[in-house]
Structure 1
Amino acid sequence: MSRRIPLKRVAQIRYGLGQPPPLSDDGIPILRATNIARGKITENSLLRAKVEDLPLERAPLLQEGEILVVRSGAYTGDSARITREWAGSAPGYDLRVTPQTIDSRYLAYALLGTSVQDQINLASSRAAQPHLNAEELGEMQLWVPPLGDQQRIANFLDAETARIDHVLERRARQILLLDGACVSRAYDAVRGGSVQGVRKESGLSWLGTVPDSWRVAAVSHLFEVELGKMLNQERARGSHLRPYLRCANVQWDEIETADLLEMDFPPDEQPRYRLRKGDLMVCEGGSWPGRAAIWGGEIAEIYYQKALHRIRPRGGDLTRWLYYCLLVAEKMRVFAVQGNSSTITHLTLEQLRPQRFPFPEIDTQRRIVMELDQAAEKDRALRQKLLKQQELLAERRQALITAAVTGQFDVTTCSCPPAA
C-alpha cells in the first residue's frame, strides 16, 4: 500500500558526524554544494583539502548508498546519491537509509521530485538566507510505495534519465564545439590567415605572422581607453541619478540591461562617463576579466562604473575589429600569462592600454568584421536552438521523475533491467 510519510521515518539525518575520511598526503577530495547537480555528483572544480585544513568531524566519510543534501546557500535542497566513498563538506546533510524500508535510489529520485522540492523551497525561504534545518528536512512528506515497486521505479528512472542525460551531454558538447569554432574562426581572421602575399612576424608570440601591410599597434595608439566612475555608498544617492553599466551587465558580445542600477552623475561628470553607441566595453575585474561587448545605444542616456573600460576610436579603426582581437586574446589566456598567474583577477588600465594587436587597413577591417559577424549570427541561432533543446530535455527529465515518484503513472510493470 502506497502512503505519504515524513522523510525521518525512512532515513537517519546526520550532519558533521560519522567516520572521518582517510588520511592522504595528496589531500582529501571534498564534495561541496557546487559539485551537486541534477541528482549527480560532478568533479568540476573539486576541492582537495589537507587534514590540517579542516576539522575531520565536519568532513565525514560518505558511504555508497547514502544521500547528500545541501543545507544552505544558493544550492539549498539539491541532493545526490553517493556512488563511491567521498568526504562531505559542512554545508551538507548525510541521509543514511534502512534498506529494508526504502531503496536509496528511489529516495534519491523522490528528493528531486517537484513535490519535495516545493516543500524544501518553502521551508528554506523562511530564513534571511536559504537554509534548511534538520527538523524541517525530516518532516518532508514522501510518497512511498512498497519496496518492490520502489525498486522497479528506480530501475525505470535509471534507464530513462540515462537516455536523457546522454542527449544533454551531446548537446553540451555541441555547444562547446560551436564556441570553439567561433574562436578558431576569429583567430584565423585577426592574423590574416586567408590573406595572400608576403607575411611578417607580428612580434606577438600567441599570434605568429601577419600580412606584411598590416600594422601592429598598441590599443592606446588607436583608441581612447578610460575607466568608469568609482561607486561608493554616497554616490548611490543624489539629485542626478542615472543608469550605469557594471561588469555583470557585460557578457561576451552582449550587454544586458534588465537589471541596471543607478548612480549620481552630476552635470560636470556626464560628458566623461556618458556612453556613445559603438563604445567597446571591457571588464576590468569581476568573474571574467577581458570579457567584452559593444554598446548598441539601446538606452539614450547611460554611464559606466569603474570596473569597466570604455574604448573609443581616435580615428577610423573599428571597435568591432578590436572586439575580435580581445576575444581571441582572452580565450588564448594572453592576459593570464602576462599576469603570471593561472587566474588573473584584473585586466588593469596599465595592462590594457599597451596591449598590441594587428590592424589591417580600415576597409579590410570592415570586410573581415562583416564576415565574422555573419558567421557569428548563424552560430548564435544554432546555439539558441541547442540551448532550447537542453531546456526542454531538462523539463522532460524533471517531469518524468516527479510523475514516477508521486504515483502519477504506473511503472510497476516496467521491464527495465536494474542499473549497472
Structure 2
Amino acid sequence: MKTPWEEEIPEEWDTIPLKYLMDIRTGGTPSRSKDNFWDGKIPWVSSKDMVSKNIGDAEEYISHDAVEQSSAELVPKGSLLIVSRSGILEHTIPVAVTTDKVAINQDIRAYIPREDIISSKYICNVITGFEQPLLEMWKQQGATVQSLNSVAVAETKFPVPSKQQQNLITDFCSENSIYISSAIDAADSLKEALKQRRIAKIWEEVTHSGSKNSGRKETNLPWLGTIPNDWMVTKIGWIYDIQLGKMLDESEISGDDLAPYLRNKDVQWWSINTDNLPEMDFSESEQSKYQLKNGDVLVCEGGEAGRSAVWREDDDEIFYQKALHRVRPTNSDQVPEFFCYFMEFAVKEGLFSSRANQSTIEHVTVEKLSNQKIPVPPLSEQEEIVQELSECIGEIESSLEDLNKIQDLLKEKRQALITKAVTDQIDLSDWQPPDKQEATP
C-alpha cells in the first residue's frame, strides 16, 4: 500500500507500520440502565467530543465500575485517538492526543505510543498533514455508516525520524499554526454571530417587533409577546392543509405507476433536491393526494424536525414520502415563504421541543404542527416581511460564504505547513521554539 509521503521523506528515515509503533485499543458503551456507571469522574470520549487536537474532557462521564464491568476502555495520557466510525469521516479524520486519562466508546480507537520510538503528537501531525489521501486509503468500502478500515490504518507505514526530530517538528507545527488556528476560530465566532443575527431578524419581522405602529395587543404567548392590532394569532392547522406523505413500501418500488418522490434528506432549509430521486408506485388516487403544487411547503417530520422549504416548481410529477408533511395554504391570503420563515424561527427557538428537554426534537407530528400557533399579518404585510427578510438574509448568507472561503484558505495554508514540516521539506536545523530563543544569549 503506497503512502502519500513515500516519495517525499528523506531516504534515511525509517517507515514502520503503525501497529508496531503503537498499541491499539477499542472502547465501548457502558449500560445506560446502571446509574452507578454514569456518576463518575472519568471523561467518556465519543466522536462528538473530538473537536480539538488536545482532549482531556467530554460531555459525559463514567465511573471506575463502568470501566471495570463494561467494554469501555481507559487509556492513558498521551494516547492518540482517532474516530473510526462517524458521518464526519465523509470529509474529515478527527484525531487528537489525550491530555489526561480518558475512557473511549466503540467509535474511537486509541493508539498508545511506544514512547522510546514514537510521539503521539508527531503522528497526529502526520495524519493532519495528509488527511485527504489517508481518508481515501482508510475508508471502509461498502459500510452503511462512514468508517475506517482498522487493518488498513494499522498496516500503514509511517515515517519515523529520530525522537529529537519528531519533537522539533511537533514544536514547529504547534508554534506556526497557532495563529492560523486562532484566525479560523475567530471566523467561527463571526459565523455564529451572523447565524444568531439571522434568527433575531426573522423573529423581529415575523412578530413585527420593529414596527413603528404603536397600536399593539397582547397575545399571552411568552415567545411572541405583543403584535400589531391588525394581526391575528391562529393555529397552523386552521389556515393550512397538512398532509403526511406516502408510507414507503418495498413491494411498490416497481410497477406501471412509478414516479419520483422526495425524502427527508432531500428537503433542507430553503432548498429541495430533485436530482437522482428514487421512485415508487403512486395510484391515480394517490397521485392527486401526494402530488406537489407550486407554493406547497415541505416540512420534515423527523431528523431536524421542522426543517422546511417552499416548492416553487410547476412539475406535477413529483411526490413525497411519509417522512415529510405537505403544508398547503387553504386560501390566497397566506404567503408560503412567510410560513417557512416562521418555521425556521420556531425550530431554532425550540417551539416544537418537549417541555422536559428543550434541546431534543424527535418528531413534528401532524397534531403538533396543526396545533402550533402562528402570528398572521395581512397579506400585504406578509409580502413586505418576506421581501425584507430575503434581502437581509441574502447579505448574511453572502458574508457566511466569504467567511467559509477564508477558513478554507487558512486550513489549506495550515495543512500545507504541517505537510512540509513532517516530510522534512522545511529546514529546521536552526529553528528553536520561542521560549528557547529568548533563553539563548
CA distance in 2, matches of 1:8, 1:174: 42
Alignment of 1:302-381 (within 5 A): 302-315=318-331, 316-337=333-354, 342-381=359-398
Q: 1:60 pairs with 62, 73, 77, which one?
A: 73
Superposed displacement of residue 89, structure 1: 2.1
Which residue in 1 is equivalent to 2:305?
Answer: 289
When residues 418 and 300 of structure 1 are mapped into structure 2, their CA distance, relative to the original with a 3 A threshold, is farther
Alignment of 1:120-269 (within 5 A): 121-125=136-140, 128=143, 130-133=147-150, 136-195=152-211, 196-269=213-286
CA distance in 1, matches of 2:251, 2:68: 42
Name the stretch that deviates more: 275-284 or 97-106: 97-106
For residue 178 of structure 2, what is the amino acid of its counterpart?
A
CA displacement 1:119-157 (0-9 Å, x = unmatched): 564355357463433x54343111222222222211111
Secondary structure, counterpart of 1:312 in structure 2: strand
Which residue in 2 is equivalent to 1:409?
Answer: 426
Alignment of 1:106-117 (within 5 A): 106-114=122-130
Which residue in 1 is equivalent to 2:44?
Answer: 30
Q: Which runs of 5+ in 2 are unaligned?
A: 1-11, 29-35, 437-441
For residue 373 of structure 2, what is the amino acid of its counterpart?
R
For residue 167 of structure 1, what is the amino acid of its counterpart?
A
Which residue in 1 is equivalent to 2:289?
Answer: 272
Given the alignment of the two structures, is residue 2 of structure 1 paired with residue 18 of structure 2, yes or no?
Answer: no
For residue 46 of structure 2, what is the amino acid of its counterpart?
R
Query: Is the Cα–Cα contact under 8 Å of residues 68 and 93 in structure 1 kept in the other structure?
Result: yes
Q: Which of structure 1's runs of 4+ aligned residues deviate more than 6 A?
A: none
Query: Is the Cα–Cα contact under 8 Å of residues 127 and 134 in structure 2 kept in the other structure?
Result: no
**RMSD between superposed Cα atoms in Å:** 2.9
CA distance in 1, matches of 2:234, 2:218: 13
Superposed displacement of residue 219, structure 1: 1.3
Query: Is the Cα–Cα contact under 8 Å of residues 149 and 412 in structure 1 kept in the other structure?
Result: no
For residue 197 of structure 2, what is the amino acid of its counterpart?
A
Name the stretch that deviates more: 65-74 or 269-278: 65-74
Given the alignment of the two structures, is residue 387 of structure 1 paired with residue 404 of structure 2, yes or no?
Answer: yes
Superposed displacement of residue 370, structure 1: 0.6
Query: Is the Cα–Cα contact under 8 Å of residues 137 and 152 in structure 2 kept in the other structure?
Result: no
Query: Is the Cα–Cα contact under 8 Å of residues 254 and 281 in structure 2 kept in the other structure?
Result: yes
CA displacement 1:41-80 (0-9 Å, x = unmatched): 4967x23345565655633332221212334454666431
Secondary structure, counterpart of 2:371 in structure 1: coil
Query: Is the Cα–Cα contact under 8 Å of residues 217 and 359 in structure 1 kept in the other structure?
Result: yes
Aligned residues, how many?
411
For residue 168 of structure 2, what is the amino acid of its counterpart?
R
Superposed displacement of residue 300, structure 1: 5.6
Query: Is the Cα–Cα contact under 8 Å of residues 56 and 101 in structure 2 kept in the other structure?
Result: no
For residue 81 of structure 2, what is the amino acid of its counterpart?
L
Secondary structure, counterpart of 1:364 in structure 2: helix
When residues 301 and 126 of structure 1 are mapped into structure 2, their CA distance, relative to the original with a 3 A threshold, is closer
Query: Is the Cα–Cα contact under 8 Å of residues 268 and 307 in structure 2 kept in the other structure?
Result: yes
Superposed displacement of residue 263, structure 1: 2.1
CA distance in 2, matches of 1:355, 1:117: 45
For residue 174 of structure 1, what is the amino acid of its counterpart?
L
When residues 402 and 300 of structure 1 are mapped into structure 2, their CA distance, relative to the original with a 3 A threshold, is farther
Superposed displacement of residue 238, structure 1: 2.4
Query: Is the Cα–Cα contact under 8 Å of residues 56 and 100 in structure 2 kept in the other structure?
Result: no
Name the stretch that deviates more: 163-172 or 344-353: 163-172
Query: Is the Cα–Cα contact under 8 Å of residues 43 and 56 in structure 2 kept in the other structure?
Result: no
Secondary structure, counterpart of 2:434 in structure 1: coil
Given the alignment of the two structures, is residue 397 of structure 1 paired with residue 414 of structure 2, yes or no?
Answer: yes
Q: Which runs of 5+ in 1 are unaligned?
A: none
Name the stretch that deviates more: 260-269 or 154-163: 260-269
Scaled by the length of structure 1, the TM-score of the pair is 0.87
Superposed displacement of residue 165, structure 1: 1.8
CA distance in 2, matches of 1:298, 1:106: 57
Superposed displacement of residue 273, structure 1: 0.9
Secondary structure, counterpart of 1:353 in structure 2: helix
For residue 22 of structure 2, what is the amino acid of its counterpart?
A
Query: Is the Cα–Cα contact under 8 Å of residues 35 and 42 in structure 1 kept in the other structure?
Result: no
Which residue in 1 is equivalent to 2:3?
Answer: none
CA distance in 1, matches of 2:124, 2:118: 10
Query: Is the Cα–Cα contact under 8 Å of residues 6 and 140 in structure 1 kept in the other structure?
Result: yes
Query: Is the Cα–Cα contact under 8 Å of residues 245 and 260 in structure 1 kept in the other structure?
Result: yes
Scaled by the length of structure 2, the TM-score of the pair is 0.84
Name the stretch that deviates more: 208-217 or 328-337: 328-337
When residues 390 and 243 of structure 1 are mapped into structure 2, their CA distance, relative to the original with a 3 A threshold, is farther
When residues 409 and 252 of structure 1 are mapped into structure 2, their CA distance, relative to the original with a 3 A threshold, is same
Q: 1:13 pairs with 11, 17, 24, which one?
A: 24
